[in-house]
């Protein structure tokens, strides 16, 4: 039986320093049969390309015509790559020995599994989960994402508490293995998201189509995090708040969305004034801009939702926490994933 074709795809934009730091581990630990490493360059203006050509001739280079952002950048790149499975990998991720096989084995052994993520630990603190993904992603009833091992800004130490293969709601875009056919059938990432939460949107659409998203602890990577934008960066805050509303409108049953929206308007307002009280005026403005952008895009979102309904009905799933993590975190003092489920 032939080995499946696997393409590890790193989307790069002016990431020469990150490639220098993290690409060696990818080259060292990705020699499995049928596995290739591709760097898709989002029209960098640093010396990323010349650095790769001189030091890593075994890496395939794709030159994109402009900086398309994360979502469209991957869409454009993956349309040009023939593989059975893609592993989407951030340029600030260090991988470990044997990391590829457990990801692919999950999808090879169960054709209903569309995407898999590894255990994502912090590169700076190796015994601690990393913000972007940790041990698998979930959302609460108001659409706030959280992870096993990371709730809001609280990170747990990895003590083996999540060392079991399990179904999750979303897999992190920092390191996600995905079935190529399912990715394209679902339409890939929503390019309008640009960056942030596009992987949650994709996973939700895949789950609406009847596929599973899973976590495996048998693959382990270390993520620097914040390699492109800091977590409190105004642009990142804008994208997260806007895209969160887009995500909910596209994928929730309509009646449930409008109930959620009322609460989200209040909580997002509280978050905006909290940012202002912390001296982050740019973040305050970003939240306001995010809501304005959501309301302006309502007609476009309605068309997207209508198109999605032809393929699958928007719905809740078992991996959605039917409680508010904001309530539990701030008012009940529950800071960990296991405390959230109580």
Do residues 103 and 239 both lie within one domain? no
Q: Which helix (H) or strand (E) holds 224?
A: none
Do residues 121 and 174 both lie within one domain? yes
Structure tokens at 276: 């202002």
pLDDT tens track of the chain, all 342 residues? 688 999 999 999 999 999 999 999 999 999 888 899 999 999 999 999 999 999 999 999 999 999 999 999 999 999 999 999 999 999 999 999 999 999 999 999 999 999 999 999 999 999 999 999 999 999 999 999 999 999 999 999 999 999 999 999 999 999 999 999 999 999 999 999 999 999 999 999 999 999 999 999 999 999 998 655 556 789 999 999 999 999 999 998 888 888 999 999 999 999 999 999 999 999 999 999 999 999 999 999 999 999 998 888 777 787 888 889 999 999 999 999 999 877
- What is the rounded CA–CA span in Å between residue 18 and residue 52? 12
Whether 57 maps to a domain, the answer reads yes
Residue at which a domain ends, from 168, 198, 223: 223
Structural domain boundaries enclosing 108: 6-223
pTM of the predicted protein model:
0.94
Which residues does residue 63 pair with via DSSP β-bridges, in sequence order? Answer: 41
Do residues 174 and 289 both lie within one domain? no
- What is the rounded CA–CA span in Å between residue 6 and residue 35? 5
Whether 229 maps to a domain, the answer reads no
Longest dimension (CA), the chain: 61
**If DSSP codes are grouped into helix, strand and coil, which group holds residue 320?**
strand
Indicate the pairing of strand 212-223 with strand 166-168: antiparallel
Residue at which a domain ends, from 223, 255, 276: 223
Do residues 292 and 151 both lie within one domain? no
**If DSSP codes are grouped into helix, strand and coil, which group holds residue 180?**
helix
DSSP string, 36-48: EEEEEE-S--SSH
Report the phi/psi class of residue 182: left, alpha or beta, with left for phi > 0 and alpha for psi in -120 to 50. alpha
Do residues 99 and 159 both lie within one domain? yes
């Amino acid at each position: 039986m032939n080995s499946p074709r696997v393409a590890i795809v790193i989307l790069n934009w002016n990431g020469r320093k990150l490639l220098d730091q993290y690409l060696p581990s990818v080259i060292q630990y990705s020699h499995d049969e049928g596995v290739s490493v591709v760097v898709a360059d989002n029209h960098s203006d640093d010396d990323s390309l010349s650095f790769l050509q001189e030091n890593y001739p075994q890496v395939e280079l794709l030159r994109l015509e402009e900086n398309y952002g994360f979502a469209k950048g991957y869409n454009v790149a993956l349309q040009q790559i023939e593989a059975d499975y893609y592993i989407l990998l951030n340029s600030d991720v260090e991988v470990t020995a044997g990391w590829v096989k457990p990801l692919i084995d999950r999808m090879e052994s169960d054709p209903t599994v569309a995407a898999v993520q590894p255990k994502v630990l912090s590169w700076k603190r190796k015994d601690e989960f990393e913000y972007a993904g940790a041990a698998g992603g979930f959302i609460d009833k108001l659409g706030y994402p959280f992870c096993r091992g990371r709730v809001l800004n609280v990170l747990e130490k990895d003590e083996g508490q999540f060392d079991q293969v399990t179904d999750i709601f979303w897999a992190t875009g920092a390191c996600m293995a995905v079935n190529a056919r399912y990715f394209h059938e679902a339409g890939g990432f929503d390019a309008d998201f640009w960056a942030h939460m596009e992987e949650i949107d994709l996973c939700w659409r895949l789950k609406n189509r009847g596929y599973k998203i899973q976590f495996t602890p048998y693959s382990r990577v270390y993520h620097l995090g914040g390699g492109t934008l800091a977590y409190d960066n105004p642009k990142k805050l804008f994208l997260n708040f806007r895209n969160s509303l887009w995500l909910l409108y596209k994928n929730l049953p309509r009646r449930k969305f409008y109930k959620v929206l009322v609460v989200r308007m209040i909580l997002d307002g509280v978050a905006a004034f909290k940012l202002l009280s912390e001296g982050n005026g740019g973040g305050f403005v970003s939240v306001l801009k995010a809501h304005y952008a959501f309301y302006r895009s309502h007609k476009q979102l309605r068309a997207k939702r209508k198109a999605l309904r032809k393929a699958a009905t928007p719905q809740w799933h078992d991996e959605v926490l039917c409680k508010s993590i904001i309530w539990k975190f701030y008012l009940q003092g529950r800071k960990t994933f296991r405390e959230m489920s109580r």
